[in-house]
Amino acid sequence: MSEILLDSQAFFHNLTFISHHLKKHSKSTKLALVLKDNAYGHGLEQIATLAREFGVEDVFVKTHYEAKIVQDFFGSITILYGAPQEPLAPHMAIAINNKEMLHSLPPGTKVELKVNAGMNRNGISPSELEEYIALITHRGLELFGVFSHNGYGDEVGEDFALGCENFCAIKDEVARMCADLGIALPRFHTLNSSGTLRSTHIDDDLVRVGIAAYGYLESDATPHIARQLKPVASLWADRISRKILPRGAKIGYGGKSVLESESVVSTYDVGYGDGFYRVNERKTLHTASGERILPRTSMDCFSCVSDAPRICVFDDALALAREFDTISYEVLTRLSPFIKRTIVRDKGE
């Protein structure tokens, strides 16, 4: 059956590269890993296993469901979305974007308050900080973190620097409020992969590394860095059937692929039902070894002129992303969780 292979050495290479950057440009900033959305499609448990081996201690997941899957792997787990339906474990925290959630949490719950520093997506207004921190204290909750998301790390221009300046002002204001209330200072973080790797001075407590850990950085601001990262995941498909077909034979739905000569045509067990894209006659896409994926792709399979019993559909998501006018994130997170994920310890295996 189809399979996603995870190159452990590529993953460790990426984390080592990012760690060296942090050591060079910060005093004590920690590397935290983003594991949301099934570890960007790579497999939550598999990537958690590798991250723990590397020494990662702090992670971010999408939901409480994901948090429970990796609860034994890490010392600190923050849930980014949704209200938990049961009390959180002591090493878990929940991100706060609205006041209603604060009223639903039991005393003692760790919370990370998200503040809008200019992206204008999620997070409370900086003008609401005092009200929220007072409510957190009154409810007996623990202010574990205050964070934002600088959405301009990939862009050339002034917006990234402005977002950093806004977050510095937020940190100063929070520090003043905590001193007034007599509560501990929370941890602070705002930088994602691109923001981290373009910064030459980082003074937050941690950075939230996502896509760069998996081998990609589609950033206009740091194109030279992207070339130093290694994709972790490759998608493989197994042969379902093999046919020798004559010149002029039509392949698949609508017969949109017509053979120019007698050829061996095989079908392979990956289709759009597996989260792969539906390749039609207006798209030109090739496997990692160069065979064209013949239109039209079916729900459960695709065809190509090949006699290989197993074929690498892609080992770099960027080519697929460019053909479908999207980004590597979407290619990877679309992949079905039902596809087997296997950690490869040595490429010779």
- Take residue 315 and report the two structure tokens written for it: 């080992």
Which amino acid makes up residue 161? A
Dist CA 32 CA 49 (whole Å): 15
Is the sign of the CA dihedral 9, 274, 217, 199 positive or negative? Answer: negative
| 8 A C-beta contact, residue 220 and residue 9 | no
Dist CA 278 CA 266 (whole Å): 17
Least Cα distance to 308 among 268, 253, 275 occurs for: 268
DSSP state string for 333-348: HTS-TTSEEEEES-TT
Dist CA 307 CA 265 (whole Å): 7
User: Count of alpha carbons within 13 Å of 294, Cβ hemisphere only?
Assistant: 24
Beta partners for residue 266, in sequence order: 242, 304
Dist CA 121 CA 146 (whole Å): 16
User: Count of alpha carbons within 13 Å of 20, Cβ hemisphere only?
Assistant: 8
Catalytic residues: 36, 253
| 124 phi, psi to nearest 5 deg | -80, 165
Dist CA 77 CA 66 (whole Å): 10
